[in-house]
Amino acid sequence: MAGFKDIIGHEQIIEHLQNAIGMDKVSHAYIINGPDKSGKMMLAEAFAMALQCEKHGKEACMECHSCRQALGHNQPDIIYVNHDKPNTISVDDIRTQVNNDIDVKPYSSSHKIYIIDEAEKMNQQAQNALLKTIEEPPAYAVIMLLTTNADTFLPTILSRCVTLNIKVVPDEKIKKFLMEKYQIPDYQADVCVAFAQGNVGKAIQLASSDDFNEMKASALQLIKRLDDIDLYEMTAAVKQIADYKLEINDYFDLMMIWYRDVLYFKATGDVNGLIFKDEVYDIKRQAEKSSYNGINSILEALRKAQIRLDANVNFDLVIELLLLTIKEN
């Protein structure tokens, strides 16, 4: 758990939340909307900790009894709503953990804060149950819905919440943070930053991975051998990604960085602008034998593969279509 001062980027959201605390205009319901690992939970926890802090400032002091409890995840008035089913937050989860609890006054603080992570998993009955509480909440209650997709919420919920949309963090900020915090060299930070696309959590995941170099080598080795390998080998290679504790989509992101380098080099001939600077020989070779349209087709195929996997299309079919496109171009 971290305070506002420890969060990289998201200045506008932090300013909004701190102003709400300072002016005593805290809303009873917030939606923090943004991609996975983009900092939603950090923002919610920093806000909750500051609201409950006994020093009553805009930033948690980290020293009072409430802050120490929050840091240990045992502050009784900061409640994390859990769900047993992996893909659904049910009406029972909302009733037992929010609706039936919210009328009980705070145990030791001025507020009672409910943090509902993965809130897009609430089914319609759960949302309707929550709506009743959001419409007439006790004065001390604050409900925070953290989601990767606010579009899944009922319009009536959206209209009663303050929605804060996470924006991408500038590359320079992420690079500086990674180099200082994780002591990694600039070329490794460049790859992490390109991979993260403005998402600090994804950059940290890669920078702190012991397997970073092996994973990068695995992705690049696969790319360089694509002309010669068959479908079985490609499928087996992609399935091994679990060894690096990364998602398949993340692996495809690394491949996309390489092909973007190829496109960049083909257009400019500039080695200095490459992310994978140490791969210049192979990037140059690929740029010579592929057309602009061919490289763009490969990048588009990688994007489509990510979308298809998210939509639970058959894994082997997705890989087959991707490999065909890459071999053609």
Q: What pLDDT is recorded for position 242? A: 54
In whole angstroms, what is the distance from residue 89 CA to residue 241 CA?
29
Q: What pLDDT is recorded for position 241? A: 63
18-69 pLDDT tens trace: 999 999 899 999 999 998 888 899 999 999 999 999 998 899 999 999 999 9
Q: What pLDDT is recorded for position 125? A: 92
Question: 315: burial class by Cβ within 10 Å (0-12, 13-18, 19+)?
Answer: middle
Fold of 4-165: Rossmann fold (3.40.50)
Q: What pLDDT is recorded for position 250? A: 75
Q: What DSSP letter does each residue of 223-259 carry, written as one string?
A: HHTTTT--HHHHHHHHHGGGGGT--HHHHHHHHHHHH
CB 164 within 8 A of CB 47: no
164-188 pLDDT tens trace: 999 888 888 998 888 888 888 787 7
Cα dihedral across residues 199, 202, 208, 210: positive or negative = negative
CATH 3.40.50.300 domain range(s) in the chain: 4-165
Distances (CA, A) of 195 to 14, 258, 280: 25, 10, 18
* CATH top-level class of 209-328: mainly alpha
Q: What pLDDT is recorded for position 157? A: 92
CATH 1.20.272.10 domain range(s) in the chain: 209-328
Helices (H), 82-227: 91-94, 124-135, 155-160, 171-182, 186-196, 200-207, 212-224
Positions of the chain with pLDDT under 70:
1, 210-213, 234, 237-247
